[in-house]
């Protein structure tokens, strides 16, 4: 058993699966969902949420087949001119009644869309809903050129306060600082000494340790689809588990909603999801850069098992 164990069992944790579609070089997106069922429905509909049967309504009034969050590369100067500095933008999906005369719609629009940057996604006439996505966080990153110990720092900007994630060069964890996560860290593979975070090892497990040493989140990608071919177009990226009675609670405890709840998760859980996007995106884009660099020099990187460890080995092409 690991010395860093998740503080609650599977039955008492929120499970958030992640999925990616990389069909376009200029349209890379990652998604987080409320359940595996929701993710599979979205994948089956090929992201066409306006089509019949693309969305289902549960008994608790929640809709599935709609992502909770979406993360994509930000189309700014860092995206165009610097392949190693991919800034990100994270959207939160909002579901509203599509009847313009619905008083509930007007109220929900004032709560979730007013004074925020958002995009209209589509209407679903089958369920009489409108789907929007609002900018939830912008993620900027920079290399640690002035520090031998720091590989790269990601700053997640929110409407209230930021979170800073510092990827270290020689340690098996990521430092985290934020008002909800003071002096915290994401631990790789239980911080084993033989698993260095560099370009030649594949990270399979991440645990979020708070300042009091409790483990409140765990992201595991060991069962991801096409794990040996990490650049495939459509992939299940892994599962995030969040303790459902952390402080603050992962779910609001005093709400009984009759309509789709756009505030299903607490701020703590939503920000944990955003940090998981950074963990996924950093590894995904870094490996892509390795393939491009290798191919430009006459070789590609091939996953190979050496002494029980998966490494990327240069292969002449």
| Mean pLDDT (10-residue bins), the chain, 317 residues | 57 85 66 95 92 93 96 69 71 94 89 95 96 97 68 90 88 89 89 46 77 92 65 76 68 58 92 95 64 45 49 43
pLDDT at position 110, please? 93
pLDDT of residue 165: 95
CA 136 to chain centre: 12
3 state SS of 41: helix
Position 236 scores a pLDDT of: 85
Asked whether the beta carbons of 66 and 47 are under 8 A apart, the reply is: no
DSSP alpha helix (H) spans, the chain: 36-45, 77-81, 103-112, 267-296
- What is d(CA 315, CA 306) in angstroms, rounded to the nearest whole number? 15
Q: What is the pLDDT of residue 274?
A: 98
What pLDDT score does 86 carry? 72
Q: Which long-range contacts (CB under 8 A, 24 or more apart) does 178-181 make?
A: 178/271, 180/248, 180/267, 180/268, 180/271, 181/208, 181/210, 181/271
pLDDT at 34: 95
Q: Which two tokens stand for residue 183?
A: 């002096």
Q: Quick one: which of 191, 227, 225 has its CA closest to 305?
A: 227
> In this predicted structure, what is the pLDDT of residue 55?
96
Q: What is the pLDDT of residue 115?
A: 94
Pairing of strands 69-73, 88-97: antiparallel
């Amino acid at each position: 058993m690991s010395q860093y164990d998740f503080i609650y069992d599977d039955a008492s944790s929120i499970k958030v699966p992640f999925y990616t579609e990389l069909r376009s070089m200029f349209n890379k997106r990652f998604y987080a969902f409320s359940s595996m069922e929701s993710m599979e429905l979205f994948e089956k509909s090929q992201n066409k949420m306006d089509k019949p049967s693309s969305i289902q309504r549960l008994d608790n009034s929640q809709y599935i087949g709609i992502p909770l969050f979406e993360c994509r590369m930000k189309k700014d100067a860092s995206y165009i001119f610097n392949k190693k500095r991919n800034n990100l933008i994270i959207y939160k999906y909002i579901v509203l009644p599509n009847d313009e005369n619905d008083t509930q719609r007007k109220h929900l629009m004032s709560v979730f869309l007013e004074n925020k940057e958002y995009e209209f996604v589509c209407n679903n006439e089958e369920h009489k809903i409108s789907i929007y996505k609002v900018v939830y966080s912008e993620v900027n990153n920079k290399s640690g050129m002035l520090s031998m110990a720091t590989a790269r720092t990601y700053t997640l900007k929110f409407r209230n306060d930021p979170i800073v994630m510092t990827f270290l060069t020689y340690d098996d964890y990521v430092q985290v600082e934020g008002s909800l996560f003071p002096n915290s860290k994401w631990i790789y593979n239980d911080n084993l000494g033989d698993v260095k975070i560099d370009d030649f090892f594949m990270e399979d497990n991440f645990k979020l340790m708070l300042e009091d040493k409790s483990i409140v989140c765990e992201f595991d990608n060991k069962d991801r689809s096409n794990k040996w071919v990490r650049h495939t177009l459509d992939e299940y990226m892994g599962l995030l588990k969040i303790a459902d009675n952390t402080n603050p609670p992962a779910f609001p405890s005093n709400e009984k909603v009759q309509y789709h709840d756009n505030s299903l998760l607490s701020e703590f859980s939503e920000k944990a999801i955003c940090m998981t996007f950074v963990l996924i995106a950093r590894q995904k884009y870094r490996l892509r850069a390795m393939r491009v660099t290798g191919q430009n020099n006459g070789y590609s990187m091939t996953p190979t098992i050496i002494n029980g460890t998966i490494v990327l080995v240069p292969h002449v092409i």
